[in-house]
Amino acid sequence: MEYVEIIFMFIKAFAVGGLICMIAQIVINFTELTAGKILVTFMLCGIVLTALGLYQPIVDFAGAGATVPISGFGYLLANGAMKGAQVGLFEALTGPLAAASAGVSAAVIFSYIMALIFKSHTKYN
């Protein structure tokens, strides 16, 4: 029975993460928005949904399917700010930085390692 629960957890994560990515792909295909604007919009959606209390149930249901996309980064920042605000004003400002520091640090470190290993070039070369 335990394996069935694990498989069901993967299916839920894949379905929710896939739905978020599908929405992003539709936005890319049918609008003239740039990638940066789409990224910021999805991050802000994660922040707003977290502030309204709507993103946490999605995270509880889908786990990594909701926290890995960019909207999950907005959720992470909003959660850090809300938890910090319970302590004080300074912590409300530093809470998002503390919450996101491990992920951002890992991205920078692994990007640097990949830049050392592989030779970069433009897409059309």
Cβ atoms < 10 Å from Cβ of 50? 23
Query: Which tens digits make up the pLDDT trace of 21-80?
Result: 999 999 999 999 998 999 999 999 999 999 999 999 999 999 999 998 889 999 999 999
Question: How confident is the model over 6-26, as pLDDT tens digits?
Answer: 999 999 999 999 999 999 999
H-helix segments, 1-122: 2-30, 35-51, 55-62, 64-67, 70-85, 89-117
Find the length of the chain.
125
pLDDT band at 125 (very low <50, low <70, confident <90, very high): low
Query: What are the distances in angstroms from CA 99 to CA 38, 95, 123?
Result: 23, 6, 34
Evaluate if pTM is beyond 0.85. Answer: no
